[in-house]
Every structure is written in C-alpha cells, then in structure tokens.
Amino acid sequence: MTQPQTPFYLIDKSLLRANMEKIARLRDRSGARALLALKCFATWSVFDLMRDYMDGTTSSSLYELRLGAEEFGKETHAYSVAWADHEIDEAVSHADKIIFNSLGQLDRFVGKAGGIATGLRLNPRFSTSGFDLADPARPFSRLGEWDIARLDAAMDRISGVMIHYNCENADFDLFDHQLGRIESEFGDILQRLDWVSLGGGIHFTGDGYPLDRLADRLAAFSQKHGVQVYLEPGEASITGTTTLQVSVLDLIDNGKQVAIVDSSIEAHMLDLLIYRETAKLPQDGPHEYQIAGKTCLAGDIFGDARFARPLKIGDRIGIADAAGYTMVKKNWFNGVAMPAIAIREEDGTIRTVRSFSYDEYKSSLS
C-alpha cells in the first residue's frame, strides 16, 4: 500500500530510533532494564525496531500482556489493578513476572504463580502528577500498598516491587529528591528484594534531559540496595515520533476562521480532551485558524494553528505527538472514519500497515 487517505497516524521510524538510542544509552550506563508500557503505546508494527533497544514490555491487563508476549517478546511483566479468577492461569502463562496491586490479590493468587517471579505494587504516597485523574497518590488511591506492616506481610512471597509515581517528570532534581524519599522510607524493604521497578513517567528522552545524571543515580540506587532496576517508559519511548495527518474539509468564518478537518479530537486524540489540552499544531505564519473536528460535539476542537498561506479545502495538516495515549484510545464516536496507521521508513518511503473499513465499525457493536 502507498500513502493512505487521511486521516492517518504516521509513525516516523527515524525519530523513533532516536528515542530508542537514548533508552539504550540509559540502559548501558545504568544497568537498568527498560520495558515498554503498552497502555501508552501498543502499535506492534514498530516493535521490530523497538525490540533491539528495550528489554520487553509491561502491561496493565491480560490482553496487553498477551500482546507483549506475542509481538514484542523478551521480558514480559504482568501487572493489573485486579486480576480475575478466570484470567490468572493465562496471565501466568505469558509472563516472566507477575506484579499484584494489593496484598489481597497477592494472597489470593500467589499460589497460582507457578514459579515465576512475583511482586507487589508499592505506593510511596507522593507523585509528580499535576492531574487528580492521573495521580496514583490521590486521596484513597487504590494503586498499591504503602503500609509497612502490610508490605512486611508480603515479603516472604515477593522478590520485587513496582513503584510508579512519576508523570511526564522532566525535572531530574525532583526525581532525585523523590527517589531519596523512597530510599529513606522504604529502604529496609528494598534491601530485601532482588528487583525494583521505578515505573514510567520520567521524561528522559526529552531535549536537554540530563540522561547521564539519571543513569548514574539509577546505578547508585541499584548498587546501594542490591536490586535490578527496571524502568517502564511509555510516553518517553515514543514522544515526538508520530503525527495525525488530516485534511481540511470546510472553511467557516464565524468571527474566527475555522477549518473543519476529517478527524475528531474526541475520536482520534481523546487524551487531549480528557486533560483539557490543545493539540500541537503548526504555528508558523500570519494566517490563524481554529482547527476543529467533524463530529457533532460542539467542543470538538483541536486548537489554534497558524500557516504561511491561507488554507484551502483539501490542504493537509499534521498534528504532532499522536503516539502516546492516543492510538490506544481511538474510537468510533460519530462513525468518523478510523485513522489508518502508516510508517515513514528510514529511507523516507511511507508504508500503510493498517486501514479500517465500515465493516470494522459495524463489527465493534452488534
């Protein structure tokens, strides 16, 4: 297939490789292992490239777990906020490690782990998330155990813990400080473990991030406590690699120039709507437009963009950062055509790896 009709997500492999090279550098220098967090990005057509630079995958459900085992391979961590009785045997069959969210789930299922490594989620009760919705340390959080007595009660049955508390944290000093807090509050426990996963949310592939300082901090942590460190980068793995390509269908002047495109923020970039953020749109030139989606939702608006020339019907617009928490959330709202998935190869050619039809819209319901 050649370049598809818009809308389509376009993954740029050379940009993806640049992120992967940063991950590889971090792994080499720190000794930490890096697992792709599939809840952020699960577009398996590019796993061939990612596999050479990462150690495997981590998951938040049975289906993600199975996808990681089938399509990525290498090391596969299984985590879920709550496993069901009917899932546990299959989960264990796909996993190298299974991480329980609560002492209750550990008690219930550890006997079924069949010899694979088991862990527990530790919630340090602080985080870097600015959004209540995504804050694992929010009041009454259900994500992990923090009580030392409850953690102690698990120690004879676990070999590690997973601590996910960062969220797009680009501030190394804050990371360093919070890791120090974890060491002082939970050091006794860490000392008795074989591995510690520090979760995702560290924005270490961003421009200007002090990657080597992070690597050295992780190496020191690993050495001090005698643990294998894991990281679970989602957003950091794929940030900046992908665009959503759309075309202008109509131009309206309502006191503001509005360009309606063949896509929808609710259907194709839902995460932005949930967190009330605007899309990353072109910002060069004097001609300003509000870029809006084609659903019936009044607020289906990507944001404001600027162009060198006035827009015309049929013009193509690329919306940046369309990989993380984006492709995994696309949906059929309003029956808007689902974006195809295309890859820009490193020689510049564009290859369509998936397109969606009416039949798939129909078969998503019954």
Q: Which residues bind ligand PLP (CB under 6 A)?
A: 37, 39-40, 79, 164, 167, 199-201, 232-236
Cα–Cα distance, 179 to 298 (Å, whole number): 44
Smallest gap from Cβ 101 to ligand PLP, in A, equals: 10
Distance of CA 173 to the CA centre of its chain: 23
Q: How far is the CB of 360 from ligand PLP (least distance, A)?
A: 27
CA-based nearest residue to 44, from 346, 327, 345: 327
Alpha-carbon gap, residue 137 to 81, rounded angstroms: 15
What tokens appear for 187 in the block?
């050091």
Contact residues for 98 (Cβ-Cβ < 8 A; gap 6+): 77, 78, 79, 91, 92, 109, 113, 116, 117, 118, 119
In the bound state with ligand PLP, the residue whose beta carbon lies nearer, of 6 and 326, is 326
The three-state DSSP-derived secondary structure of 276-321 is CCCCECCECCCEEEEEECCCCCCCCEEEEEEECCCCCCCCEEEEEC
With H, G, I as helix, E, B as strand and everything else as coil, classify residue 99: strand
CB closer to ligand PLP, 117 vs 258 = 117
37 - beta bridge partners?
A: 58
Number of H helices, E strands in the chain: 12, 16
Q: How far is the CB of 201 from ligand PLP (least distance, A)?
A: 4
Provide, rounded to whole angstroms, the least separation between the CB of residue 24 and ligand PLP: 17
Q: How far is the CB of 230 from ligand PLP (least distance, A)?
A: 10
Of the pair 55, 300, the CB lying nearest ligand PLP is at 55
The least CB distance from residue 103 to ligand PLP, in Å, is 17
Nearer to ligand PLP among residue 12 and residue 235 (C-beta): 235
In this complex, which beta carbon is closest to ligand PLP, that of residue 7 or of residue 136?
A: 136
**Which is closer to ligand PLP, CB of 34 or CB of 317?**
34
